[in-house]
Homo-oligomer: A and B are copies of this chain.
Amino acid sequence: MPAAKFDVLGLGNAIVDVIAPVDDDFVINAKLRKGAMQLVDEAAAQALYDAMGATTIVSGGSAANTIAGLASFGGKGAFIGKVRDDEAGRAFAHDIKATGVHFSTPASQDGPSTARCLVLVTPDGQRTMNTYLGACQNLTIADIDAADVAASQILYLEGYLWDPPAAKRAFVEAARIAHDAGRQVALTLSDVFCVDRYQQEFQDLIRDGVVDILFANESELHALYQTSDFASALAALRQENILAAVTRSEKGAVVVKGAVTYEVAAAPIGTLVDTTGAGDLFAAGFLTGYTRQQPLDRCARLGALAASEIIQHFGARPETGLAGLAEQSDYLHAL
């Protein structure tokens, strides 16, 4: 197997986040599921935007956030995702390339505009996401750069790719290319309602050996195994022949590999501002350690450290260089 050109290649929805603080009544009155991601059409997105306060706009997208986080740690990342050639699409491309990530998916020249996620942040720091998929619906197999996929240690896929119809086929094809090249495939389950929509398909992906590494939070794992009991979900997870990292918010994270379990505490924070991207950045830190052959408990601590940075400000892209943060971190070095 040739040396990898990239540590991780991410495949995901290319989204610009439009963030505003709201009170709990706003979420209730808009009949939204607090803490979840829901898909909205363009008209609903416009109506919600009109009702929101002044916004902060930053690039987002789950896998894109993870790859940007990996690059912030000094890792070599690549990303495949579809924007349109409009102001938001150019901002997305600028931002991911500015972090040092390789990104060359051609922008759509017509059709729906670049995807937006309207992120409502309540005073408890919880985020409720409303995604207009826009140009992401144009991601197809033709956008998969086979040479780049084959040249990446890890292919990282987001469960949200199940939402735009053609992206699912691109996902499966990319995983086939990666495995043919002797690489590993990672999947994040993305969102509890996303798992509800595609529970059987995600289980099949895991059981058919398409997925080597799984990222999930506690709720997503419960949804995957249709249980409300964490121990039962973890027991089911152990039956799969994969490496899995399960995040549990302030309770830290659990890494499972066969019969072996590692538990790590959450990294300490000052003020919780916005939980958007906590899972994405956990995966960034974990994969940074993993692609450097670090012990699994250290991988999880790198994940927890990255998550702690992201939840202390608006947006899901690091504002502080994660490599520097890792160097200075008592939490990491206490290990």
Asked, given contacts A56-B56, A56-B57, A86-B87, whether A94 binds B50 with beta carbons under 8 Å apart, the answer is yes
Whether B49 pairs with A94 at a CB distance below 8 angstroms is yes
The complex places the Cα of A95 from the Cα of B53 at a distance, in Å, of: 7
Tell me which residues across on chain B come within 8 A of A317, comparing CB atoms. Answer: 54
Q: Chain B: which residue is nearest A92 at the CB level?
A: B54
Q: With the chains together, A54 CA to B53 CA distance in Å?
A: 23
Minimum Cβ distance to chain B for residue A176 (Å): 32
Copies in the complex: 2
Chain B residue at smallest Cβ distance from A95: B54
Assess whether A21 is interfacial by the CB under 8 Å rule. yes
User: Are A98 and B319 within 8 A (Cβ)?
Assistant: no
| CB contact between A57 and one of B58, B68, B319 (< 8 Å): that residue | B58
- A319: B residues at CB distance < 8 A: 21, 314
**Across-interface contacts of A315 in B (CB, < 8 A):** 56
A91 touches B52 (CB 8 A): no
Least Cβ–Cβ distance between A51 and chain B, in angstroms: 9
Measured CA separation A111–B211 after assembly (Å): 52
A135 to chain B, nearest CB (A): 14
The answer to whether B91 and A57 have CB atoms under 8 Å apart is yes
Interface-central residue, A54, A87, A314, by most chain B CB under 10 Å: A54
Distance, CA A21 to CA B319, complexed state (A): 8
Contact status of A59 and B54, CB under 8 A, knowing A21-B319, A87-B87, A88-B87: yes
- Whether B53 contacts A98 by the Cβ 8 Å rule is yes
Specify which chain B residues have a CB less than 8 angstroms from the CB of A50 in the assembled complex: 94
Q: In this assembly, does A140 line the interface, its C-beta being within 8 Å of a C-beta of chain B?
A: no
Measured between beta carbons, the chain B residues less than 8 angstroms from A87 are 86-88
Does A169 sit at the interface, judged by CB under 8 A?
Answer: no
Q: How far is the CA of A94 from the CA of B18 in the complex (A)?
A: 12
Q: Which residues of A56-103 have CB atoms within 8 Å of chain B's CB atoms?
A: 56-59, 68, 86-88, 91, 94-96, 98-99
A319 vs B319: C-alpha distance in the bound complex, in angstroms?
17
Q: For residue A53, which residues in chain B have a CB less than 8 angstroms away from its CB?
A: 98-99
Within the assembled complex, what's the spacing in Å between the Cα atoms of A30 and B86? Answer: 27
**A55 interface residue (CB < 8 Å to B):** yes
Q: What distance in Å separates the Cβ of A327 from its nearest Cβ neighbour in chain B? A: 16
The reply to whether A98 and B57 contact each other, CB–CB distance below 8 Å, is: no
Q: Give the complex CA separation of A55 and B98 in angstroms.
A: 9
**C-alpha spacing A52/B58, complex, angstroms:** 14
Q: Is A313 an interface residue (CB 8 A)?
A: yes
Given A87-B86, A87-B87, A87-B88, A94:B55 Cβ within 8 A: yes
Which residues of chain B are within 8 angstroms of A56 by Cβ–Cβ distance?
Answer: 56-58, 314-315
A211 to B41 CA separation, bound complex (whole angstroms): 50
Give Cα distance in the complex from A314 to B52, angstroms: 19
Known: A54-B68, A56-B315, A313-B313. 17 other contacts (CB 8 A): A21-B319, A49-B94, A53-B98, A53-B99, A54-B96, A55-B58, A55-B91, A55-B95, A55-B98, A56-B56, A56-B57, A56-B314, A57-B57, A57-B58, A57-B91, A87-B87, A314-B319
